[in-house]
Amino acid sequence: MKAFICDVPKCGKIVEEQETNDYQKRTNDCLITIVLPEGDFCPECTRKLRARVARAAWDELKQTRKTKPKLAVAA
């Protein structure tokens, strides 16, 4: 009998159900794909890792996106 333990440091939970490391969601104009590194992760850690990756990608996109110039208001 094999037991899988979550690979996230300080977690150590026994993984009863294998979560898929891939996540895909289609929106109106794009396809969002999140791929986690190889490893055994419990459902809670999988959710947290996906959220962390999505947040990092969103922050990177905000930095590279050009903003519109602000209009000067005449007083």
Q: What residues make up the domain containing 14?
A: 4-64
Any alpha helices (H) in the chain, and if so which ranges?
A: 43-64
Whole-number percent of the chain with pLDDT over 70: 91
pLDDT band at residue 32, thresholds of 50, 70 and 90? confident
74 within a domain of the structure (yes/no): no
60 within a domain of the structure (yes/no): yes
Q: How many residues does the chain have?
A: 75
Total tally of structural domains belonging to the chain: 1
Residue 41: closest CA among 31, 33, 49, 53: 49
Q: Residue 31 and residue 17: Cα distance in Å, rounded?
A: 26
24 within a domain of the structure (yes/no): yes
In the chain the beta strands, taken as DSSP E runs, fall at: 4-5, 14-15, 22-26, 31-35
pTM confidence score: 0.67
